[in-house]
Structure 1
Amino acid sequence: MTNWSDIDTNAKGWIKEAAEIIKGSFSKTLDIQTKSNRNDLVTEIDKKIEQFFIGKIRKNYPEHKIIGEEGFGDKPKTMDGIIWIIDPIDGTMNFVHMQRNFAISIGIYENGVGMIGLIYDVVRDELYHAIKNKGAYMNELQLGPLEEVNIAESIIGINASWVTENKRIDSAILAPLVKDVRGTRSYGCAALEFAYVAAGRLDAYISLRLSPWDFAAGKILIEELGGDVTDLRGKPLNLLEQCSIFVSKPGLHEEVLKKFLCNGDW
């Protein structure tokens, strides 16, 4: 039988070790490269941290599989078995330009079910963590459960790339939604935006396209607190593919889907 508490303890220890490596890079000149486009950045630290986690996992849990953003892990075709889904530095652009508002993100799944979610804000020393059916926490503070909120009183995180990536979605959804909510925010780090919904700092988060390593850990946190995580049509996420994302408190999720997302012609 899998000892999830031991896995959680090990993963937390590795995260703190990785954080020290990241903080040690702040005074150094980074080797910055691009991936899919000029704004999709990667540094040698992203790669080093992913390889650090892979080394620890391979040594301690050789039967587990790994999906990592930088491609050093496995490429499973199914979610069978235990799979670690890792983003060594989510928010690399923030890491490069600001040295803040980035996070280490790890989601651990068993046969497609989220068992452990870990999001660590390295600079603020805030570790958001959850084990399935054992509650969610920020450091030692227990979070939630998430309470309902209406659209007019909500603060929603929205990825501004919508403005340039899909004009139909922008006109059909973004403009009227922004008009109706109390306010919007954009932090440039999907993992932290999930964590902020979990902590009550945001009421929802919407993004046009995220990869599994962007949402795997956050999905576990939000669902542990009674929130909802779907794509923009209200359908379950595919943990092996890119997805649109709509994460929110209960009640608000249904309200936004009905009013803005499911009835549009986009």
Structure 2
Amino acid sequence: MDNQSRQLLFDQVKKWILEAGGHIRDAIDEPLYIDTKSNPNDLVTQMDRNTEEYFAKKIRGKYPNHLILSEEGFGDEVESLDGTIWIIDPIDGTMNFVHQKRNFAISIGIYHDGIGEIAFIYNVMDDVLYSAQKGQGAFKNDKRLLSLENKVSLEESIVVLNSFWACENQVINEKKIQDLVKTVRGTRSFGSAALELAFVAEGIVDGYLTMKLAPWDIAAGAILVNEVGGITTKANGDPLNLLTNNTILSGNKQIHETISSQFVELKK
């Protein structure tokens, strides 16, 4: 994708995501219709579906050759990353949306032939927009985010780590994670993978480790982190597969390497 095409697409997506966020804020206090999907904690609301449908209609009207990979049923059957793919989570952090009415985000990552070109993560209620274009850095609203190249020791770091590692049938050695918790300065969990990756890119947390995320949870955040010199992979360091679920490890290269080599041990 050339620079001019990318910029035009970036400007269009920015307009749409701000408009969609405005619709959500306007309706935030209206009654919610809540369903569950894979389990009682896997929530979906009519707002998730309405927001995804909004993007699907906009994309298909203006970019009919682009494909959509998304969570709530308005996407395409995407079998490869050839061409231009929009990877969309209309509300990332639905449980936060339902219970707190904040701390959720709209997440859009656009990939062309498997390369991350454009990313947006919109913290709707705080009106904070994280964005990135390939090779041009990452931004929080209009402020450029600093590089993550600065060296921070693991003992001085804050790592985002949710509780899923402690659940039964996990793929990771929980004893190693306990050792990680004892080593770092502190752990946090915010309930939105998109925002958690944006916080890594911003540098307000130093790393992120989680056991299972879908492509729409990570597509935009991985671009943001990459654009500030960080790295996002599977927990064991293998490349991401944006067509399936992944374990996730993200952070600056030093933190990433230390956690991957010393604290991640996948079960056989």
Query: Structure 1 length normalisation: TM-score?
Result: 0.96
Q: Distance in 2 between matches of 1:167 and 1:229?
A: 20
Q: Distance in 2 between matches of 1:82 and 1:254?
A: 31
Q: Where does 1:1-266 land on structure 2 (aligned, <5 Å)?
A: 3-146=5-148, 147-166=150-169, 169=172, 171-262=174-265, 265=267
- How far the C-alpha of 1:170 sits from its partner, in A, is 5.6
Q: Is the 8 A contact 1:172 1:265 kept in 2?
A: no
Question: Which amino acid in 1 is paired with 2:108?
Answer: I
Q: Distance in 2 between matches of 1:30 and 1:50?
A: 16
Q: Is the 8 A contact 1:136 1:221 kept in 2?
A: yes
**Alignment gaps of 5+ in structure 1:** none
CA deviations on 1:111-149 (whole Å, 9 max, x unpaired) are: 000000110000111111000001110001000211221
CA deviations on 1:82-138 (whole Å, 9 max, x unpaired) are: 000000000000000001110000000000000001100001111110000011100
Q: Distance in 1 between matches of 2:27 and 2:164?
A: 29
SS in 2 for 1:232: coil
Question: Is the deviation greater in 241-250 or in 161-170?
Answer: 161-170
Question: Is the deviation greater in 15-24 or in 182-191?
Answer: 15-24
**How much identity, in percent, do the aligned residues show?**
49
SS in 2 for 1:14: helix
With over 3 angstroms needed to count, the CA separation of the structure-2 counterparts of 1:133 and 1:35, relative to structure 1, is same
Question: Which amino acid in 2 is paired with 1:219?
Answer: A
**Alignment gaps of 5+ in structure 2:** none
Q: Distance in 2 between matches of 1:265 and 1:28?
A: 45
With over 3 angstroms needed to count, the CA separation of the structure-2 counterparts of 1:265 and 1:72, relative to structure 1, is closer
- How far the C-alpha of 1:172 sits from its partner, in A, is 2.5
With over 3 angstroms needed to count, the CA separation of the structure-2 counterparts of 1:55 and 1:167, relative to structure 1, is closer
4+ residue runs of structure 1 moved beyond 6 angstroms?
none
RMSD: 1.3
